[in-house]
A and B are shown apart, each in its own frame.
Chain A
Amino acid sequence: GAGVSQTPSNKVTEKGKYVELRCDPISGHTALYWYRQSLGQGPEFLIYFQGTGAADDSGLPNDRFFAVRPEGSVSTLKIQRTERGDSAVYLCASSLTPADYGYTFGSGTRLTVV
C-alpha cells in the first residue's frame, strides 16, 4: 500500500480482555517496528521484525504482550489480560531495510482499557 496502515484506529476494551492490533506495512518493506506512546511522552520501543522473525523484542513490557509477523508482511500485536496501564497509542513503522533510517509510521491505534 501507499502508507503504513493500522487497524483499528481506536479500540476500547474492558480490563482483563484480549486485544489484537494490526499493522500493514508498506509493500516490500522488510523491517517493521512497534512502539507505544503514552500521553505527553515520546514513543517507546516495543519490538522489531526483520522479515518474519522478531530480531529484537527487548521492549515488550511483560509476557502479556506478544507480536507476530507470519508471512513477513502484516504484523499483529497481541495483548492478553489487558490492564488500565496498557492504555496508549500503539504505533507501527516500517522501513525498506533495517539500515534504511527513513521510518514511515502509521497513524496508530489508540487503545483504551476501562
Chain B
Amino acid sequence: GIQVEQSPPDLILQEGANSTLRCNFSDSVNNLQWFHQNPWGQLINLFYIPSGTKQNGRLSATTVATERYSLLYISSSQTTDSGVYFCALSPTSGTYKYIFGTGTRLKVLA
C-alpha cells in the first residue's frame, strides 16, 4: 500500500519563527488533507490540497503531486500552533478513506 512519511518527526520553535513541514508519499494520490491535532487531542482540518497552493492566514500549503510531496508552511508561529500536524491522503478515486502519516510534533515556546 501507499507509504506516507512526514518530516521532521519533532520540531521545537521559538514564538515568531517560521517552519516548513514535509509530507512524502509513495504513489499518486486522489485527495490530500493537512490536519492539526491540538494538545487536547482535537483534530482540525487545515487544508484540502491534492495539488497546487492554498493559504489561510499564517498557514499555507503546497502539493506537487507529480513529485509526490506536500509542504505545510507556518509563519510567525504562536504557542497555539503547538500539537501534531498530520497529512492524510486517499490514493484511489471514489474512496473516501484516508491514510494518515505518523505526524510532525511541533512545540512552540513563548
Give residues in A with beta carbon < 8 Å to B.
31, 33, 40-45, 48, 55-56, 58-59, 89, 91, 93, 98-99, 101-105, 107-108
Contact = CB atoms under 8 A, between A and B. Distances in A.
Given A102-B45, A105-B43, A42 B88 contact: yes
Nearest to B32: A101
Interface in B28-50: 31, 33, 35, 40-45, 48
A39 B70 CA distance: 24
Interface centre among A44, A56, A102, A103 (most CB of B within 10 A): A103
Interface of B: 4, 31, 33, 35, 40-45, 48, 86, 88, 95-103
Contact of B86 (A42, A48, A58, A108): A42
16 contacts: A42-B86, A42-B101, A43-B43, A43-B98, A45-B99, A59-B97, A93-B43, A101-B31, A101-B48, A102-B48, A103-B33, A103-B43, A105-B42, A105-B44, A105-B45, A107-B41
A36 to B, nearest CB: 11
Contacts, number: 53
The B interface, classified by DSSP as helix, strand, loop or mixed, is: strand
- Of B41, B44, B97, chain A has the most CB atoms within 10 Å of the CB of B97
Nearest to A9: B41
A107 B39 CA distance: 12
Contacts of A42: 4, 86, 88, 100-103
Given A42-B102, A58-B97, 13 more contacts: A41-B102, A42-B4, A43-B88, A45-B98, A55-B96, A56-B97, A59-B97, A99-B96, A102-B48, A103-B33, A103-B45, A105-B43, A107-B41
Contact of A89 (B31, B41, B45): B41
Which one of A44, A58, A101, A104 has the highest number of Cβ atoms from chain B below 10 Å of its Cβ? A101
B101 to A, nearest CB: 6
A33 B100 contact: no
